[in-house]
A and B are shown apart, each in its own frame.
Chain A
Amino acid sequence: MDFVHQLIQQLINGVSLGSIYALIALGYTMIYGIIKLINFAHGDIYMVGAYLGFFGVTAAGLPILPALLISMFVTGLLGMVVEKLAYKPLRHAPRISILITAIGVSFFLEYTGMYFVTPTPRTFPDVIGNISFNAGGFIINGQQVLIFAITIILMALLTYIVQKTKLGKAMRAASFDTETAQLMGIDADRVISMTFFIGSSLAAAAGVLVGVYYNTIDPLMGIMPGLKAFVAAVLGGIGILPGAVVGGIILGVIEALVAGFLSSTFRDAAAFAILILVLLIKPTGLFGKNTHEKV
């Protein structure tokens, strides 16, 4: 009984962590879907989001929700600027050039960030208080409730945008076949720009939620979650939105189980072992299809 109890408790922790990976992985996968770029700077965008949330709460004294929204908006704009300045000029260059540029943008954000906010970690203020809920012996704390709520809302909103709106249909069309999308009158540049906005603002939300959850942020905080969200996106099938969510949750749960039952030293190793396994067994990921065109 004790084992089952601990298992379920770890599942709760795992899903919280996984929701954060999922939010970051969504941006990875959307951007990959539309311009086939592994945006290595995405984890750093998430870091910027965390800092903007932090300053919103501390310097501006805002409540958490407005701080979150402002951070999402401003980080979204930052994503658009990065795309316009760094990636767009390389749209027709060899794939490797843009990949290396993404790594450059990543370092740029990390070290410019460090210049402005100093490398010292900051303590994210406690915005939730010490609430926790006891559901039949299982503890869910206030931070976890916030993570679940925000993640579910954002995913519902994203699903609505992608499935129902004109922008969403344009995004799907351009991801599938940019050239034919242009023949429909879709402005591919604009759609790509909007994709960076949405992906980056989701990463910002994850950054703020991590600040709230772990209480500490620093300029290099994006490196590990960025890589792990990439693993999550590959696990689910890169370019596929539900894949990113499922991949993120699975990754979070596995990490929590490894940390809870083996040792937290193996957490990160487990994440990358998954990447290797996926690449060996099903490189297209859980939701991946091998072909999508009928001849």
Chain B
Amino acid sequence: MSMLEINDINVYYGAIHAIKGVSLNVNEGEIVTLIGANGAGKSTTLRTISGLLKPKTGTIKFLDKDIAGMPANKIVREGISQVPEGRKIFAEMTVMENLELGAFIREDKDGIAQDLKMVFGRFPRLEERKLQMAGTLSGGEQQMLAMGRALMSRPKLLLLDEPSMGLAPLLIKEIFNIIVDINQTGTTVLLVEQNANMALSIANRAYVLETGRITISGDAKKLAASEDIRKAYLGG
């Protein structure tokens, strides 16, 4: 069943036409990855899904509801949560407060407590540092916090914008394992990455974005094996 259906959206920054007629869909239970070079429009696409940007034309349907143009704070309530590029944790608040903000839309105290346990189970280092200012965490810990914070809203669809950015290879592996695990426990994932190798290795399907247009799409394993993709994105 299709969870997210983006149909022919166009997004502008003033006069700059950043997304040119992009269509893509994510089915329930999948990991779909959106890969592409710097400036291709990956973040713009995620920010449009989250409601931080409005498409000029085109539709975005989430669980059969048109969400294009809905304000960002309402879209989270529909069940879409984003881990933004660069983590964007609230550096001057504690780790705990960051996680509480992740659950801002919820009132079910017991459920929140449960999810907090789940997040601490996945990221034990966050529990050890829960009273620490988030700004004092290392880059990898900040990434974990950003992911934990997004999970605290108990999303149906998790949008991840370059979770591997700036992390050591070992940590990237750890993060990707966690993404697979999050997916297996029932959360659908749309993953934006420049690290195409890693992304294709865990995704079901992939889209390649080039200067605002989808140029290639298909099964992730097949794309990973394809000669063109290897040359353009996987370093040979």
Contacts and interface: CB of A to CB of B under 8 A. Distances in A.
Contacts of B82: 183
Nearest to A176: B90
B104 interface: yes
A79 to B, nearest CB: 22
Contact of A172 (B72, B73, B90, B139): B90
A232 interface: no
Interface stretch (A38-46, A142-150, A185-193): A185-193
Contact of A182 (B52, B100, B135): B52
B104 A186 contact: yes
Nearest to B106: A185
B93 A173 contact: yes
Find the residue from B88, B90, B135 having the highest chain A CB count within 10 A: B90
Contacts of A181: 101
B76 A185 contact: yes
Interface residues of A, number: 20
The binding surface of chain A is classed by DSSP as helix
Contact of B90 (A166, A180, A187, A188): A180
Interface string B63-102: 0000000011100110001101000101111000100111
Nearest to B98: A173
A293 interface: yes
A134 B205 CA distance: 80
B97 A183 contact: no
A180 B145 CA distance: 14
Contacts of A182: 51-52, 71-73
B93 A184 contact: no
B10 interface: no
Contacts of B52: 179, 182-183
Contact of B142 (A170, A172, A186, A294): A294
B73 A176 contact: no
Contact of A294 (B71, B84, B135): B135
Contacts of B90: 172-173, 176-177, 180
Given A166-B104, A169-B101, A179-B52, A185 B77 contact: yes
B147 to A, nearest CB: 13
Contacts of A172: 90, 92-93
A256 B100 CA distance: 44
The 10 closest A-B pairs by CB, nearest first: A185-B105, A182-B72, A185-B76, A180-B88, A184-B104, A185-B104, A184-B101, A182-B73, A187-B73, A185-B73
27 contacts: A166-B104, A169-B97, A173-B90, A176-B93, A177-B88, A177-B90, A179-B88, A180-B84, A181-B101, A182-B52, A182-B73, A183-B76, A183-B81, A183-B84, A184-B76, A184-B101, A184-B104, A185-B104, A185-B105, A186-B73, A186-B104, A187-B71, A292-B91, A292-B135, A293-B91, A294-B91, A294-B139
